[in-house]
Amino acid sequence: MLTYDLSQRGKRTMYEFLYEKMKDDILAGRLAKGEKLPSKRALSEHLAVSVKTVENTYDQLLLEGYIRSEEKKGYYVNHIEKVTGNGPAYASFVTKYQEEEYLADFTANNIHYEKFPFATWAKVMRETLTDYDTSLLKTVPFNGVEALRVQIAEYLYRYRGMQVSPDHIIVGAGTEYLYSRLLQLLGQDAIYAVENPGYRKIAKLYEANHSKWTYIDIDKQGMDVDALRQSQATVIHVSPEHHYPIGLVMPVGRRQELLAWAAQEKERYIIEDDFDCEFRMVGRPIPSMQSMDRSHRVIYMNTFSKTMVPSLRISYMVLPEKLMERYISTMNFYSCTVSGFEQYALASFMEKGYFERHIRRMINYYKQQRDFIKKVIKVSELGKVCKIIETGAGTHFLLHIDTPLSDVEIKWAAKEKGILLNCLSEFCFENRERYKGLLIMNYSDMEERQLRKAIAALEEIFCE
Amino acid sequence: MLTYDLSQRGKRTMYEFLYEKMKDDILAGRLAKGEKLPSKRALSEHLAVSVKTVENTYDQLLLEGYIRSEEKKGYYVNHIEKVTGNGPAYASFVTKYQEEEYLADFTANNIHYEKFPFATWAKVMRETLTDYDTSLLKTVPFNGVEALRVQIAEYLYRYRGMQVSPDHIIVGAGTEYLYSRLLQLLGQDAIYAVENPGYRKIAKLYEANHSKWTYIDIDKQGMDVDALRQSQATVIHVSPEHHYPIGLVMPVGRRQELLAWAAQEKERYIIEDDFDCEFRMVGRPIPSMQSMDRSHRVIYMNTFSKTMVPSLRISYMVLPEKLMERYISTMNFYSCTVSGFEQYALASFMEKGYFERHIRRMINYYKQQRDFIKKVIKVSELGKVCKIIETGAGTHFLLHIDTPLSDVEIKWAAKEKGILLNCLSEFCFENRERYKGLLIMNYSDMEERQLRKAIAALEEIFCE
């Protein structure tokens, strides 16, 4: 009869141990297919355990299908294919996503963590826990917590000139996530156009979603309307507040041409990517394209990643009425991807004025940063071989360098000195030569000492 | 010359008011295309405002492209197409997503909010704010915070018999979100098979993602392997721990047949949907199919929506090595969709043992609920015309009713009495007749009084 050394069971209960042992024997073929098991009473006497222990063991083996019970006959071992291979299913495969060390990273449009009012944010989160209590647990509507959508609508009214109902806003975990939903909403027939040069990650999203897409050159006003008209595109992705990385503000004339293009045909839309619109260093906020749209063709997208922190993962989009209705009727089975708690906390942070205060402070801080870096460049040797091209929008500018080096050589030379750089040509789908020798300088998370060292290193590259 | 009544400017600054007025005039055509504007000095004298005010106004109009500056000549109005249509871009469109009032909802596999240890969770969140401080702001790795992935791996080891490296886990904002990523990862050539009957929302996700899919009948052990072999399917979606809504535990023999099917060809995979696996009312936890997989073909998915709360929006999947490598090389540009803060808080909640304690308590609570509702049914008139079909898994069971009513008639009769019900036939893609008269009873968020009333109402329908 089955015999197991029950003293070896360690911390396991008798029943767990017996179950494991019998299971192992069945899987290894030591208990063969069709073999009749001893009766519960017989096995309990043999092993000197309670009948209940054997009963629990048999029940579990039955439940998992290792054995079967035949009425009035007893328990039999089932046919189980032998397991081939051995050891744990997964090796202790450990991937290292080690970040490289560097002196300065001009490629990252990051926030300056130390400038974020964490204490205030933590206070608001604590208050939210107390104020909302268990109502924080409730399932969030598919488009986000209403209190947050109301705050967003008010913010858009005050700062972007937009009159938007909170019911047109969809809150989601990041712009990429909302973009995926949007691509689904617009369907497989849509053909997307991005700006050349432009933000390449958008094209990556199209690729990953198997969407058709193309690129269209920009001129000094933004996306070329004639080229757009000649293309097959039905949906365009633009950043009228300022083009990244060129910084161009799309003038009102071009905006209206694009709006007119969209209004001409059904199912034409404009995705207005308003990332970083809050950080305008010169002049007052420029109203969004959405606020000029009379034909309900603009889909507005923005995020709290830069205005708050990236780890918060809250973005939103504003859909025109027709698309919102389509979303509700076809896609509202997708649950909202942002936790209720953080939506309530952000709504409260906005309502209490902390959000706008933080943005005002950051604009001032970034202005100082910008003036500082520009000054350092101007008084350096580098200043003699470069020209700063800046439009007062966003937390970056372009540096045009007079150098025989190719853009690839620039990148490698910089990298050897511990400086991560992107060139404008990297944002081109074609016509790279037109944009040669233009470095993109993201300065938002730089510190003074770091900046001075980085500029000195660039001097060594370009001023030998 | 341009004349505006500056006394009407309300709370706006002089510059804002002047800018708005001139912009309106240009858009309305009152300032015509090509018209020369007065010099800054002339307008400032005319309106009795400072030159600086006019300068700021002109600068902003220049920036937005309403006017242009011609060297040594002055400022001119640009050609702006007249805006057609009027009023705000969006009407005050307010959609009501009003929830219906009802006596009892047996369709929802919800949690019982009052049983969630909110005070402990709030305490852990407060501690997390204090302990991690500003490091909470850091950008989260694409696959989630390591501390949480470590806790998940340990939990899977203890409760699901799985040996999984934290590096194989991807944390995301909900199972639907992770599913979208997975469909992208597996590519457009994959053909998915779901169980019939089965969870129809999965098929909806395939549809929304334009993925090819089919369904395969289940027999008493789970998905029919012969039918599967005859199909074109390359990826199957199954719930071996217990089928929803039938409750069937897939026996080890069928599991191994499916694993063998997957191992036969490249790019065959099994998606193991382990939703609700934690709430096994009878016996000990059944090891997952992933833990039996020696060929690296099982993709394991689970969520904290039921074990914690749905509004938390944290799910995870465990990828086999090859798929993880593919994810890293092609899709790690997708940012993690869950906020860092809540990942740290959940990791701490798990590490401190609160998570497992909560699950143990909920199992006991749900057992009481189940026994209570079964008792109420048995002693009622309803008990005479129905049979409870229950497998001890998940927080629902089936009720087979002896009735001449069709399933549609049952639903409507129940609805009229304020009871929301799903029939098993609704989970069928075909062969609905085979599963006629089977009600799905989700009891997890029911209260005793509510249950008694609901059973009394069902009595009225079926026992007249």
Closest C-alpha among B417, B373, B432, B379 to residue B399? B373
The answer to whether residue A174 neighbours chain B at the CB level (below 8 Å) is yes
CATH architecture assigned to B6-91: Orthogonal Bundle (1.10)
Closest partner CB to A201 (pick from B284, B312, B333): B333
Q: Is the pLDDT of residue A174 over 70?
A: yes
Domain ranges of chain A: 6-91, 104-113+357-462, 118-353
Does the predicted model carry a pTM greater than 0.90?
Answer: no
Residue B93: its pLDDT value, please? 41
Q: Which residue of B has its CA nearest to A263?
A: B84
Mean per-residue pLDDT, A147-157: 94
The distance of B123 to chain A (nearest Cα, Å) reads 9
Find residues 221-260 of chain A whose CB sits inside 8 Å of chain B.
221, 249-257, 260
Q: Is the pLDDT of residue A90 over 50?
A: no
End-to-end CA, chain A: 88
Q: Is the pLDDT of residue A96 over 70?
A: no
Q: How far apart are CA B134 and CA A13, in angstroms?
A: 45
The verdict on a CB contact (< 8 Å) between A188 and B167 is no
Distances (CA, A) of A400 to A246, A377, A407: 12, 12, 11
For residue B293, the tally of other CB atoms under 10 A from its CB is 26
Q: What are phi and psi of B199, to 5 degrees?
A: -75, 110
- Give the position of tokens 């938002």: A444
Name the β-bridge partners of B399.
Answer: B388, B439
Closest C-alpha among A118, A172, A151, A178 to residue A314? A172
* CA angle in degrees (0–180, nearest 5) for B4-B8-B9: 90
Residue B92: its pLDDT value, please? 42
Q: Which residue of A has its CA nearest to B204?
A: A333
CATH architecture assigned to B118-353: 3-Layer(aba) Sandwich (3.40)
| Per-residue pLDDT tens over the stretch A223-238 | 999 999 999 999 999 9
The verdict on a CB contact (< 8 Å) between A341 and B313 is no
Chain A residues close to B19, C-beta within 8 Å = 284
Q: Is the pLDDT of residue A314 over 80?
A: yes
Q: How far apart are CA B264 and CA A401, in angstroms?
A: 58
Interface ipTM: 0.84
Distances (CA, A) of A67 to A2, A34, A80: 15, 9, 9
Mutate to test the interface with A, among B220, B286, B303, B335 (most CBs of A within 10 A): B335
- Give the position of tokens 């909010």: B113
The pLDDT tens digits along chain B (464 residues) read 778 888 888 888 888 889 888 888 888 888 888 889 999 998 998 888 899 999 989 988 988 889 999 988 999 998 877 655 444 444 344 444 445 578 889 988 778 888 899 999 999 999 999 998 888 888 899 999 999 999 999 999 888 889 899 999 999 999 999 999 999 999 989 999 999 999 888 998 998 888 999 999 999 999 999 999 999 999 999 999 999 999 899 999 999 999 999 999 999 999 999 998 888 887 778 889 999 999 999 999 999 998 998 888 999 999 999 999 999 998 888 889 999 999 999 999 999 999 999 999 999 999 999 999 999 999 999 999 999 998 888 889 999 999 999 999 999 999 999 999 999 999 999 878 888 999 999 988 888 888 899 999 999 999 87
Closest partner CB to A337 (pick from B85, B173, B320): B173
Q: Is the pLDDT of residue A153 over 90?
A: yes
* CA angle in degrees (0–180, nearest 5) for B144-B263-B151: 25
Q: How far apart are CA B263 and CA B269, in angstroms?
A: 8
The answer to whether residue A189 neighbours chain B at the CB level (below 8 Å) is no
Name residues whose C-beta falls within 8 Å of residue A117's C-beta, 6 or more positions apart in sequence.
A354, A358
Q: How far apart are CA A384 and CA B233, in angstroms?
A: 65
Closest C-alpha among A64, A54, A281, A219 to residue B251? A64
Q: Is A188 left (phi over 0), alpha (psi -120 to 50) or beta?
A: alpha
Closest partner CB to A81 (pick from B60, B137, B256): B256
What are the tokens at B437?
Answer: 């008269």
The answer to whether residue A117 neighbours chain B at the CB level (below 8 Å) is no
**Long-range own/partner contacts, residues B199-206 (CB < 8 A, 24 or more apart):** B199/B239, B199/B244, B199/B273, B199/B427, B200/B426, B200/B427, B200/B429, B201/A333, B201/B176, B202/B237, B202/B273, B203/B429, B204/A333, B205/B176, B205/B179, B205/B180
Mean per-residue pLDDT, A28-48: 88
Assign A101 a pLDDT band (cuts: 50, 70, 90).
confident
Q: How far apart are CA B146 and CA B184, in angstroms?
A: 24
Residue A397: its pLDDT value, please? 92
The verdict on a CB contact (< 8 Å) between A204 and B333 is yes
Name residues whose C-beta falls within 8 Å of residue B342's C-beta, 6 or more positions apart in sequence.
A339, A341, A342, B125, B312, B314
For residue A433, the tally of other CB atoms under 10 A from its CB is 9
Closest C-alpha among A424, A428, A420, A427 to residue A436? A424
Domains A104-113+357-462 and A118-353 share a fold: no
Mean per-residue pLDDT, A65-85: 82
Chain B residues close to A286, C-beta within 8 Å = 63-64
CB B187 within 8 A of CB B326: no
Name residues whose C-beta falls within 8 Å of residue A104's C-beta, 6 or more positions apart in sequence.
A418, A419, A420, A446, A450, A451, A453, A454, A457
Mutate to test the interface with A, among B186, B309, B311, B331 (most CBs of A within 10 A): B311
Closest C-alpha among A177, A176, A245 to residue A435? A245
Mutate to test the interface with B, among A243, A284, A303, A349 (most CBs of B within 10 A): A284
Distances (CA, A) of B275 to A99, A119, B97, B334: 35, 38, 27, 24
CATH architecture assigned to A104-113+357-462: Alpha-Beta Complex (3.90)
Q: Is A442 left (phi over 0), alpha (psi -120 to 50) or beta?
A: beta
The answer to whether residue A340 neighbours chain B at the CB level (below 8 Å) is yes
Q: How far apart are CA B419 and CA A382, in angstroms?
A: 76
| Per-residue pLDDT tens over the stretch A185-204 | 999 899 999 999 998 889 98
Q: How far apart are CA B252 and CA A229, in angstroms?
A: 61
Q: How far apart are CA B334 and CA A295, in angstroms?
A: 33
Q: How far apart are CA B134 and CA B296, in angstroms?
A: 39
Burial, B375: exposed, middle or buried (Cβ in 10 Å; 0-12, 13-18, 19+)? exposed
Q: What are phi and psi of B188, to 5 degrees?
A: -75, -15
CB B89 within 8 A of CB A163: yes
Closest C-alpha among A439, A445, A415, A417 to residue A427? A439
Q: How far apart are CA A132 and CA A390, in angstroms?
A: 45
